[in-house]
Amino acid sequence: MNQARRITFLSGFLSAIAVAIFAFYGGWQRKWMSDDGLIVLRTVRNLLAGNGPVFNAGERVEANTSMLWQYIIYLGARIDGHRLETIAMWAALIFTTLAVFIATIGTATLYRGRPLWLLPFGGIIYLALPPARDFATSGLEWGLSLLWIAVLWFLLATWSTLANKTQGIVPTVTLYTLAFWCGISWLVRPELALYGGLVGLMLLIMHRAKWWKILLVAIPAPLAYQIFRMGYYGLLVPHTAVAKSATGAQWASGWNYIRDFNDPYWLIVALLIAAFAGALMVALSKQTAGGVDKRTPLAIGVILACATLHTLYVVRVGGDFMHGRMLLLPLFTLLLPVSVIGIARNRSAALLGAGIFGAGLIWSATAIIGGHPYQLPEEGEELGIVDERTFWQLATYRDAPTYFAEDFHTARSLRDYPEQLAIAQQRNDAHLVSYLKNPDPIVLSWMPVPRTTQTTGPNADLAQMPLSLTMINLGMTSMNAPLDVRVLDNMGLANPIAARQPRMPDARVGHDKNLPLFWQMADSGVAIDDMPDWVNKKDAQAARKALYTDEFRVLFESYRSPMSWDRFMSNIKFSLTSGRTLQFHEDPEKYADAAVSVEKPQIYWPQEINTAGDRK
């Protein structure tokens, strides 16, 4: 290796180290746990206890978007005895750190053999954004998603620089590793299938003679899990996609989400600086010895196409209710080709490169110093898009961000929750209902509702249901409850009936479905006459009758009836037919004339719930 190449290699490696340190420090400084992150941990608790990959024992509902993330935390918990929140935090932070390191090395690979000083660039811009550092932890799969994208980029860059080496073990291993990595894309997050699909299609075109080998490597892992998902859960997609109607279009909300992310930081300025950095990269590649590898423009073009299409998808579905979250992955991807910037020996080129690098640092400093100030809206105002980390710190009246499940006890909606839950368990009640105890000032509380004594006749199966409760904030309620308590939400992440409600027009993105309380209590072990006064008993009676009709019963059988080979095969059929489009009416009277075709209709099957292995 000559002197020039050593400088390029060493400066690229040091750039990767520098940006990794920034990622680790920035993520550690802002470490926290979100309510949505706690949702993942509830499934992990059930896995550890032996109840399966479910949110509520006895109900096969896939409440997490990322299959791999929950199993990574599960494996970590099997190895390590720390709290699940701590395991999730460390896994996410380590993955984020590795992601920016690998991404930088991948881009530095494109400059291989060129006499340049390399400086960190794209990763610095990304990490300067407060939400990028927030979601370096949070309990969600963003660190894993970044790592998957970074490894994809590294493999793609390596593949492109081996353009003239069609034989040998390294090009062959790179090709098939890249094919496998494309295949597992949607096991990380469903929308990453866009990345895996586009890159995989490119490989099939570029290596037409090896198409069957590429497919043989890429398909088995995702196909195996897809068959499992269809047979076990009775769905083609994660249940979260059903709950959030991920195929719907809300362009206006999506544009508002873009503005919410851009405006506080003038992100468009950073993207323009990055565009100049990209133009400089192209110019340096043409001027330096060796030119540019013939596959490099294709690799860069494909990765930029992935970022662009991903952004359009986020805008189309209406964005998100968390500030910046859903745009972090496409932004990270967009910045990959400029993860480093080259400083040439030529004086004019060196000055230009230094100027672009300095502009990027100045913008990054303003984004870090300016931050993203956030205050809770006034009482009665729409929450809209929130800074989730600050929101939960304010909503729990804490001096520091939430980290453990019990940190959420001080939230207004969890007032009296631990005490009333303990009472309901001790009395073997059927339901724990949240209610407005005082309107001004607002005081929320919880009320146990007794279990029906009916053990024979219609609805007798519901008497065997576990203690149930419903709250919009599914994470903090579920992680502060034992596994033998059935925790649901009115939006549908863990409740298939709610997930198949029609969307409410103009509602908050991600919160645009709502299952009325009378439906929730009808699907529990509460006697109609014992329901609280504010529950419409006539509607509850009609809803309970509707639950036993064929349309509902087929759904209940898919995720509640005991698993067997016949049930597995029936679920596959259900997932390919009515399971794709099934939707319910909010008005139970719509089912007044619906048929109940079985002699002894059943919508709940009692199952043993293991709690001995719980890791709360």
Domain positions in the chain = 3-369, 409-591
CA distance 332 to 195: 13
Tens-digit pLDDT profile for residues 278-313: 988 887 776 554 445 678 889 999 999 999 999 999
Residue 518: CA atoms inside 13 Å, Cβ hemisphere, count? 20
- Lowest average pLDDT, out of 52-61, 337-346, 494-503, 598-607, goes to 598-607
Q: What is the largest CA-CA distance in the chain?
A: 89
Reported as a pLDDT band with limits 50, 70 and 90, residue 201 is very high
Q: What is the pLDDT of residue 266?
A: 96
Q: What is the pLDDT of residue 289?
A: 46
CA distance 314 to 324: 11
Q: What is the pLDDT of residue 154?
A: 97
B/e letters for 495-528, b = 16+ CB within 10 Å, e = fewer, are bbbbbbbeeeeeeebbebbbbbbbbbbbbbbbbb
Q: What is the pLDDT of residue 167?
A: 62
The secondary structure of residue 551, as a DSSP letter, is H
Residues in the chain, overall count: 616
Provide the residue type at 112 as one letter. Answer: R
Reported as a pLDDT band with limits 50, 70 and 90, residue 164 is low
Query: In whole angstroms, how far apart are CA 454 and each of 386, 450, 457, 459, 538?
Result: 45, 12, 8, 8, 19
- Point out which residues pair with 431 in neighbouring strands: 449, 468
CA distance 47 to 74: 7
Q: Structure tokens of 459?
A: 């609805």
Q: Give mean pLDDT, residues 158-182.
A: 82
Q: What is the mean pLDDT of the chain?
A: 91
Over pLDDT 70: what percentage of the chain?
Answer: 95
Tens-digit pLDDT profile for residues 102-123: 999 999 988 876 767 899 999 9
Task: Look at residue 166 and tell me whether its pLDDT is greater than 70.
Answer: no
Task: Look at residue 238 and tell me whether its pLDDT is greater than 50.
Answer: yes
DSSP H helical ranges for 110-250? 122-128, 130-134, 142-161, 169-183, 185-188, 193-206, 211-218, 220-232, 239-243
Q: Give the closest residue to 155 by CA, choosing from 178, 172, 176.
A: 178
Q: Give the closest residue to 142 by CA, choosing from 184, 189, 106.
A: 189
Over pLDDT 90: what percentage of the chain?
Answer: 72
Q: Give mean pLDDT, residues 488-502.
A: 92
